[in-house]
Amino acid sequence: PSKIMRQTPDFKHFRILPALFFGLLAFSSAAPIPAQAAMKITTPMMNGTDFRAYGLTQFAIHGYELKREMVNALNFGLKNLIQRHEQTFGRRLPRTFTVRYRIFERFEDYQHFAQVKYKKRINKNVLGFFSPRGREIVTWKQDPVWRLLPTAQHEGCHAIMNAMFGPLPFWMIEGSADWFGEEPAWLQTKFLVNDKRDRWQRLDVLRRTGKLPRLDKYLLTDNYNDWAKMFDDEIGMGYDVGWSIFDFFVSAGQNAGVDWPQKIMAGAVHRAQQNPNVAPELVFARTLHEQWPMNPARKIKGIQSFEHGWHFWIEKNAKEAARAKIIEQQKRKQQR
């Protein structure tokens, strides 16, 4: 579980506007789901037998009423996320797949439960986490309440990926969740489009100043402390790098009309599954190094060749982001 926490020190990784939240909530005025007894930690809570099913989701709510509109929004988002994961990886989840959310009203109750059941020390920066062992997402109501949606969706991506593949490299766990959380067409608000552009430009600044991490080191990171050391306590940059690597695997090949980059990624994940006694980060990096083709112009291969292509991908997207921003500024001036 500690490898799949959502950690956002300055909230800069919340990627959904309040306006999007309220748009998704415009589904129903039905009665809210009643609160379950809070905050004594009971045997059903410890055993995970206190959930109630609502569509693709199951909920255990402690101390307040979860509005039906939020339930609808989470089900709507989860349905789209499942479809996109299945399209990307060519795999189907079982029809019985559900995501279980345990949501507390008070942060202190969420913190206490995490300590008692999972032996986790939670601070305000950890907005929620997914536990493969407990098969549940644990979070709290959050303030303002719209922040619950992106947190729940991000953790939902972890639940989907865990159901599809089991253990994954740390960078891929977080990078894919950020990518799927922003990529679907139904989330392409102006806010998210600008956020993606800002990410590419932040990464390009690192590229131009020689501060992007070496991938033979970054791909082997397996916890947030590694990212903190690598990025001078800016853990958010670890998310950005993982997000861009995942995008390079999936989107660069699609743009070029080929699917071999995505197949290499899928093959590396599959090999990690076949070697459960070896860290998935190490298995993935070795497989990538063995299978990524040589760059004949630079006479480099493996991870070095991949890294060169990844740098080019960042530069390309950053330039496109800059051009798009200029065009939008010009349009705004014309409209005045």
Statement: residue 47 has pLDDT above 70: yes
Separation CA 111–CA 129 (nearest Å): 11
Separation CA 7–CA 4 (nearest Å): 9
Separation CA 279–CA 275 (nearest Å): 8
Least reliable range by pLDDT among 24-28, 135-139, 172-176, 281-285: 24-28
Angle at 268 between CA 261 and CA 162, to 5 degrees: 110
> Model confidence over 273-297: pLDDT tens digits?
899 899 999 999 999 999 999 998 8
- What is the pLDDT at residue 304? 96
For range 132-158, the mean pLDDT: 89
Separation CA 319–CA 142 (nearest Å): 36
Sheet holding 126-131, edge to edge: 5-7, 126-131, 136-140, 99-104, 57-62, 52-54
- Ordered alpha helix ranges (H), the chain: 18-24, 43-47, 68-89, 107-118, 148-165, 170-182, 190-208, 215-218, 224-230, 235-247, 253-256, 260-274, 280-291, 302-335
Query: Which range is most confident: 24-38, 79-93, 284-298?
Result: 284-298
Model pTM score: 0.81
144 upstream amide cis, omega within 30 of 0: yes
Check if the beta carbon of residue 168 is closer than 8 Å to that of residue 158: no
For range 157-186, the mean pLDDT: 85
Statement: residue 24 has pLDDT above 70: no
For residue 300, the 8-state DSSP code is B
> Model confidence over 224-255: pLDDT tens digits?
999 999 999 999 999 999 999 999 999 998 88
Reference 173, options 22, 52, 280, 296; nearest CA is 280
290 burial via Cβ count (<10 Å: 0-12, 13-18, 19+): middle
| Helix (H) or strand (E) run with residue 59 in it | strand 57-62
